[in-house]
Chains A and B, each alone.
Chain A
């Protein structure tokens, strides 16, 4: 049996009166594309920071590829690449200098071939000799990703990597991250774009108040929590309401249902009662709905 890429056991962290992490247990397998979701203040960044050694937990243990992040931090950090949430850079250096320096911090010299490959994949080759100050926000974000990869870590954590990033860059970035995942890197992603998490992540953990409140495969979460919806626009909304419809957006009435078998009888009843169907559309379950339900019920 292979070691988990990340093992988190009973991790607690308190800042004064605030319990940032209240006993988090989590295991992420090697090769997973894992999503860590939660509202602001849920503890996502604190958990990632504890994993990266930026925050010292009050209790519990964290391991990266079997190496404890406190007692065996050198081996743990060599196996971890973190893309921080804040758009930070060192204004003294060019992109290539920065990547060489970052490689050196990880004990590696002479990895220009790999640096060139990262630069090409992130469309940064033309900017390699530019000073960091001269780059746009999107370019700086790419350099942050490149810096996290210089030592080719088996585990990559991306903390809100697409915040404030335009669509083109976002798609390019995901294409590259998917490629890394295919090559064998374990990816852990936090994002507020739930659509991204739904599309990319095979498994998702949801955090609230420093605790894991949901943990399952994306498919199971969608199946377990979310329902389909039938939205209708009718001449007599009061009839639709009497049949269990609830007010949706701009005059639409929404019916929730578990299975498509329920659609036909519902449409028949709308016709029989003279509701006067004008328009209709079906809604698939999505992670946003799951997220809202989980957060409300937790």
Chain B
């Protein structure tokens, strides 16, 4: 029997009554590249977090290299088990050299604790050349290409579990979306390295969205859907269609749609023409008054850029936008004047101001209405604005004069959406409105946005929470590689259609 790098046995993990993982068993053998597929909400990230020790499973066991993982686990003890992670953002310090990035924390020191730089240099050169790279260890990471950086990330992850002796090497390297930032041709190079890592006796767990990757590079593939492991097979038994079928499956509709809204008679309020951004590549569409338009796709497909571009939070690389028939050059100040409002998915940095009070955050967009004589802000007026927003959107709190940071994530998001809805914009732009909030809050948010649209407001939002996109949108544009690949409307708006078009499977007659 082959050695197991990872053995997950019957792991179940529930969050507030919902099972994120339901009796999942997964085995990764030493020396294989094992791909883990599943769309957002499938339980993929929960599984990784359980392995990494962030979450304790409700039941079931996890063994790494034959040792049972005990909770709580720290990053340090995981290293002892022989597990290392490479996260999507790799986590290299760009101003430091390859050597420093690879060796920090494990530099060999001699007398008087001085670092043996020449030894270190040799070690790193040997390590790099063993993977077929002849980069100088002193090169700053900032000068490396994106693919070279991910190679360094993989090499570092390998080095962290490697004993240095290839005959006895064993361990587990978990790569989370390693190719997210890479152009197609550079992926091959990275996967070459990943294959070599596996060849040295390390088990590689490759977490990815992209179905082609396991087909080209993995030995085995496992698919999670709705918290269950639906397949764990040899890759040779699969093709693109069969994998897509497994990933998409019969995803359940979580909430019932209000359908039958006829928007054809509403006027078009915003027209986007040939708009390009960093990923977005010349997209055109228009949205009607009262319509809820969902923008979606796999991570990095370009949909997430659109709210930023339309609001002017980010500069477009080309194309034009018109609002109400007039050409509009997006910029936050002008956008506000045009009746646009934008709620970023980055609540910490670009949402509410955490140190300011809840009341101050809530009244920010509508402060003008509380201005009295001599430009004095009438606090009673302010209080009543706060009160009506908090009441309307059912946000419960101790005092609106406490810092915004005292609210839970879901309440923060409701307060932010509430304050903008309260400022009666024509168009509400949102990025990931329901990400990172609990299920109750996300249902509330969906209800708030629907109500806003019923009253004639336009909602344009980007999201990778496919169920929420399906239950909220009148129409969905699915993006892939910066282009619109599908436009779903009416009865076509289902989670299944959204997910399958994200993977490039489903084509509608409309596009």
A binds B: no
